[in-house]
Amino acid sequence: MNGPDITGLLVLDKPAGMTSRAAVDRVQRWFPRRTRIGHAGTLDPLATGVLVLCLGGSTRLIEYVQRMNKVYRTRFLLGAQSDSDDADGTVTPVSGAVAADAATLAACLAAFVGTIEQVPPAFSAAKVAGQRAYDLARRREEVSLSPRPVQIHAIDILDYTYPHLDLEVRCGKGTYIRSLARDVGARLACGALVQTLRRTRIGSFTAEEALTLDAGAETAYAHLLPAERAVADLPRIVLGDSERKRLGQGQAVAVPSGERRRAGSVSDG
């Protein structure tokens, strides 16, 4: 039996050190028992930032939020590698690593902008023969994942003081920043891993409007967003009361071409 009909979206600022699922479990305490809550776009325990939660009937819209463009701020640690491609794994210094100059670094990063083939990290939710890759990796079993196309719209260098490289990355669905760090390190022949990672935006949802886990129930209710925010970039049709009633009953309705409207595109920042 489902709980009360609480529907809407909530933007959470996930802290470091916990899974996205654990963050959802904390938020669940703010709402009546059996309120359905799902999250759109998993963040690793190391990562912080924007996690969009869908409540009640809005859980059916999770896929629309997941496919939105994302913006990350990250610090790569050069001169080292990790079995998880981030600082939470077993970190190994790369012997003989040499700092790349600014021009070499810029050219390297430019090569990763556009549609690229990317292999997910071994410690990821990607599946291998029906099993999660991270389950195999934790059992020290071989993990062989196929590359998949992802879209990286831009990589901006915020600061470079070897061995630290601070970046802002704008990318599409399914992009692993850990894989980007690993591949950048391989191309520079010095190794690299994600030391810090923060997601600042998903579509139009930003860190500035996000709640922390100490917000509490009253604040959460006040900050629920309408479900329409999840589909703001889709075509919109305005119907009258009678047409809405007929459509809700599964009947076809005629829509004059003048009533078709295009919603504004969701910005990726």
Spot the catalytic one: 5, 13, 44, 166: 44
Cα separations (Å) of 11 from 14, 15, 56, 149, 214?
Answer: 9, 13, 15, 28, 13
Dist. CA 171–CA 183, nearest whole Å: 16
Q: Is 241 a catalytic residue?
A: no
Residue 215: how many CA atoms within 13 Å on its side-chain side? 26
The DSSP string of 101-139 is: PHHHHHHHHHTTSEEEEEPPPSSSS-EETTEEHHHHHHT
**Cross-strand bridge partners of residue 10:** 53
Torsion from C-alpha of 28, 30, 32, 33, nearest 10 degrees: 30
**Other beta carbons within 10 Å of 92:** 12
Q: Which residues are marked as active site?
A: 44
